[in-house]
Amino acid sequence: MEEALYNKSITCPVCGKKIEVTRVKSRSCIVSSRDTDFCVYYKTVNPMFYDAWVCEFCGYAAQSDRFEEISSRDAEKVIKEISPRWKKRSFTGVRSPEKALEAFKLALYNVQTIDSRPSDFAKICLRIAWIYRMLKDEREKKFLEHALHFYYEVYEKEELPVGKMDEFTCMYMIAELNRRLENYDEAIKWFNRLISSQEARQNKVVLEMAREQYYLTREQKES
Ligand SMILES: [Zn+2]
């Protein structure tokens, strides 16, 4: 296994078996660039590829920060609906983009099966879109559309902040994903809303990005 990676033993909260998950040493992650929707590229190993954990025994999969949180009611749903169809296979060790994609699709299948928040769907769909982008696969667009749909739901229904995402980042994502999907009027509407919000000054980084993307969208609309 690559030096940047290490395995950690955990107990699957669904089937109770011991499993190994592969993690990335944070000092091994060297950023090369960032896209305007926060997709990060690395000179070295990409830690995002390892962020969907999968139990090889029962098929339970989730993002690492949510993996151990599952309720007993949801765990039963996984055992009833996912495990019977699960073909045992391991996700430990080095992950290619394709393997990471497979792990995130399993995580998506799991959030569709159990009680989940729109933000769980949004995060997973966005990461699937990013991996397709890295693979230069046009299915990126389909998953950006799914992610966008869930960001609208996050904005309308969830109490923000959710994890690291505050209200302004959520608005920014709605605007930026609309821009990437060439819905320029809708993108301009949301960037504008963000730029003209007094409270948005709390998040200077996002506000500055919104200003830049607002002008870019207007240029794109006119060309
Ligand atoms: Zn399990």
What residues does the ion ligand 1 have nearby, CB within 5 Å? 12, 14-15, 55, 57-58, 60
The answer to whether residues 135 and 36 belong to one domain is yes
- C-alpha distances out from residue 34 to 37, 55, 67, 213, Å: 8, 31, 26, 14
Rounded to the nearest angstrom, the distance between the alpha carbon of 12 and the centre of ligand 1 is: 5
CA dihedral sign of residues 123, 124, 126, 131: positive
CA 53, 57, 59, 61: dihedral to nearest 10 degrees? -20
User: Range of 222's domain?
Assistant: 159-223
The answer to whether residues 189 and 84 belong to one domain is no
CB atoms within 10 A of CB 198: 6
The answer to whether residues 92 and 173 belong to one domain is no
The answer to whether residues 182 and 113 belong to one domain is no
DSSP string, 159-184: PSPBTTB-HHHHHHHHHHHHHHTT-H
Looking at every residue in the chain, the average pLDDT score rounds to: 96
User: 102, 136, 158: which is the final residue of a domain?
Assistant: 158
pLDDT at 200: 93
CA distance 23 to 3: 11
pLDDT at 61: 98
Rounded to the nearest angstrom, the distance between the alpha carbon of 63 and the centre of ligand 1 is: 14
CA distance 55 to 113: 16
Query: Residue 73: pLDDT above 90?
Result: yes
The answer to whether residues 210 and 116 belong to one domain is no
pLDDT at 1: 59
The answer to whether residues 167 and 81 belong to one domain is no
The answer to whether residues 145 and 208 belong to one domain is no
CA distance 87 to 95: 18
The answer to whether residues 125 and 16 belong to one domain is yes
Beta strands in the chain (DSSP E): 5-11, 18-24, 31-34, 40-42, 52-54, 61-63
The answer to whether residues 140 and 110 belong to one domain is yes
Rounded to the nearest angstrom, the distance between the alpha carbon of 143 and the centre of ligand 1 is: 27
The answer to whether residues 102 and 37 belong to one domain is yes
The answer to whether residues 73 and 147 belong to one domain is yes
Number of folded domains that form the chain: 2
How large a percentage of the chain has pLDDT more than 90? 96
